[in-house]
Each structure stands twice: as structure tokens, then as C-alpha cells.
Amino acid sequence: MFRFAHIAYFYLLALIPVLAALLVFFLIWKKKTLAKYGDWSVIRQLIPDYSIAKTIIKFVLVMLAIASLVVALAKPQTGSKLEKVKRKGIDLMICLDVSNSMMAQDIKPDRLERAKQSIVRLVDNLEGDRIGIIVFAGKAYTQLPITTDYAAAKMFTSSINTSLVSTQGTAISDAIEMAVNGFGESKHNKAIIVITDGEDHEGSVLEQAEAAVKKNVTIYTIGMGLPEGVPIPVFNGNVQTGYRKDSDGNTIMTRLNETLLQQVASVGKGMYVRATTSETGLNKIFDDISKIQKSEIEEKQYSDYEDRFQYFVALALFILILDLFIFERKTKWLQRFKPFEK
């Protein structure tokens, strides 16, 4: 197992292209400055031993040394001890609607962003549970396979947007089926949370919910939006340019299909909650999920890590020492070595 303890130091690598640009600027400035004293070909004869190639080589070596030191600062480590860890928890799959209607702003800042914020807070409250994320619109896709890596769960959640699924629609049945399959052969207690407005749903949702219950999976639903309906904003970058319209030029209104979500939760032996601007309902659902008996989850993980940064420090020192023995003037014996001249 290999990892970096402090990956934030890799941002320092951004200095390398900046320094490269400064070198190019310096070489151009130097050439223009020398050109003021006469023809460049004549000036080159006055400094015959000067080598631009060696200047570039020395620069490359220094950049390699900097890169090695940055890697050392990031503290590379290798796992040396593998342990089996037992923890109690449940398996939880989040099915999140990413169709265009989730951009509606009847829940601030919008339905999708509010749902993402709540998922992140939910992850912060998990302890010993496994979590996975399914995104869906007209089709369903696995955004995050089930895991106990909560940092990865929050990272993948933050990257969710409506462009992840190009096919429009609300394939709740596909999402539930994919979530059930995502649990694998796990014997742990399982729950699915479907977060959607339920509009324009496709497929046999209730039949899929019944099939999930037969596999001991509980289904909860969260309704995002208002039944009265609101328009769907259109953005160009971060600037709203108007609202989505149909082929006749009429503004499209998106409405919460509360009846469907209540039915899915009822068939799924779970509960339904309608989200509001102040609360999405995940807390209520998680409180109910917490009552589910948790089973032991056995995991293998590295408990001891050994530092390997010293190798990169040594490499940096070697490169810097090598740089000291390279001079900017041309090497005379190489100048005499001309294999292609008779």
C-alpha cells in the first residue's frame, strides 16, 4: 500500500512552469540586451564558450531537484502492517437525481446543491457504516461504489452536477436496481435513500421497490421541490440567462411528484420526507435508519506506515551536486569531437 501523508504540498509543483516561463523571459531579454552592442553573430564570437544548452540543462536539473523535494514534503509512505478491523454498521446507498429539473430554485440555492450539502453532512455523521452513491436522470450510473472511505464520499459528492447524465428523465427504477446490485453479496442490513423530485419518472418503480424489499433492503425517499411547480433556470457559466422552454416556446414548469415518492417509501418499508429550504429531511431519515440493527463489517486495512521521503531527499541532493559540476561554458573536448566531419 502506497500513499502520501500530505498531498497538499503537490501544489508547490505549480512553481515549476512559472520558473520555466521566467527562464525563457530571461534568455530572450539577455539576447536582446546583447544585440544592442552589435550583430548577434559577432557577439557570439566574443563569447564562444557560452552554451545556452547547458544553461537549460542546469535549469532542468534544478527543477527535478525541486520536484523531488516536493515529493519528499508530501511524505510518501508504504503500508507495512495489514490488520483486520471489525466495525458495526449498515450498508447505505444514496440515489441522487441529477436531471435538469433539479436545478430549480424552489429550495435554495437549488434542489441539487441543497441535496449535495445534506449528503456531505450525513457522511460526517457516519461511523462504521458503508456508503455508495448512484446518480440518475434518464439513466443511472454509479458515482461511488460502496465504501467506508468517507473522504472519497464527500469528494465525489462535491463533483456531482447535471452534466453527469446526458439522457434526461427520472429513471428511479434503474437507480434502485443499480443500488441493490451495488450492495453485492453483503449480509449486512441495507438501506437506499432516493433523493429526487420524482417528475417524469420512467420504468416500473414500485415493482423494483418490491424486489428490493425481498432482498431485505429498506427504501427511503426525499422529495425535492414544491408540488405547485417552478421554472427551470438556464445558465451560461455562472450567469442565469433565462428559463427552459418547450418546443412551442412555453416555459417548462417542474413539479414535485409527492404521491409517487410516498408510494415508493411505503412499498420499500421506509419513510418519505419532503425537503425544505432549511432541511432536506436526511436527518429524520438517518435517525430512522440508526434504529436498524447494525451488523459487524470486517475490513482489511494498513495500520502501520513507513516513511520513504528520505529517498527523494537523497535524489534531490544528488541532482544538485551534479548541477555543481556542470558549467555554463561549452566543454572543449566535446567541441573537438566532430564525428561527421572528415
Q: Are residues 271 and 173 in the same domain?
A: yes
Per mean pLDDT, which of 211-220, 235-244, 304-313 is the most reliable? Answer: 211-220
Q: Are residues 275 and 323 in the same domain?
A: no
Confidence of residue 339 (pLDDT cuts 50, 70, 90): very low
Q: Are residues 201 and 111 in the same domain?
A: yes
* Structural domain boundaries, residue 268: 91-293
Confidence of residue 334 (pLDDT cuts 50, 70, 90): very low
* Interval 242-278: pLDDT, tens: 888 888 888 888 889 999 999 999 999 999 998 877 6
133 within a domain of the structure (yes/no): yes
Residue 170 near residue 202 (C-beta atoms within 8 A): yes
Q: Are residues 234 and 316 in the same domain?
A: no
Q: Are residues 255 and 183 in the same domain?
A: yes
Q: Are residues 147 and 216 in the same domain?
A: yes
- Strand 253-254, strand 230-231: pairing: antiparallel
Split into its structural domains, the chain has a count of 2
Q: Are residues 56 and 166 in the same domain?
A: no
84 within a domain of the structure (yes/no): no
* Interval 169-198: pLDDT, tens: 888 999 999 999 999 887 778 999 999 998
Residue 108: its pLDDT value, please?
A: 87
289 within a domain of the structure (yes/no): yes
Q: Are residues 227 and 256 in the same domain?
A: yes
The percent of residues in the chain predicted with pLDDT above 70, rounded, is 82
Alpha carbon of 213 to those of 85, 139, 216, 268, 294: distances in Å?
Answer: 29, 22, 5, 6, 17
Nearest residue to 219 (alpha-carbon basis) of 139, 285, 147? 285
Q: Are residues 288 and 319 in the same domain?
A: no
* Interval 92-135: pLDDT, tens: 999 999 999 999 998 888 999 999 998 998 899 888 889 999 99
* Interval 11-42: pLDDT, tens: 999 999 999 999 888 888 877 776 776 665 66
Residue 141: its pLDDT value, please?
A: 95
**Tell me, what CATH number does 217's domain have?**
3.40.50.410
pLDDT of residue 298 exceeding 60, the answer is no
Residue 42: its pLDDT value, please?
A: 62
> Which pTM was predicted?
0.62
What would the 3-class secondary structure string for the chain be? CEEECCHHHHHHHHHHHHHHHHHHHHHHHHHHHHHCCCCHHHHHHHCCCECHHHHHHHHHHHHHHHHHHHHHHCCEEEEEEEEEEEEEECEEEEEEECCHHHHCCCCCCCHHHHHHHHHHHHHHHCCCCEEEEEEECCCEEEEEEEECCHHHHHHHHHCCCHHHCCCCCECHHHHHHHHHHHCCCCCCCEEEEEEECCCCECCCHHHHHHHHHHCCEEEEEEECCCCCCEECEEEECCEEEEECECCCCCECEECCCHHHHHHHHHHCCCCEEECCCCCCCHHHHHHHHCCCCCEEEEEEEEEEEEECHHHHHHHHHHHHHHHHCCCCECCHHHHHCCCCCC
Residue 342: its pLDDT value, please?
A: 45
Confidence of residue 337 (pLDDT cuts 50, 70, 90): very low
Q: Are residues 204 and 259 in the same domain?
A: yes
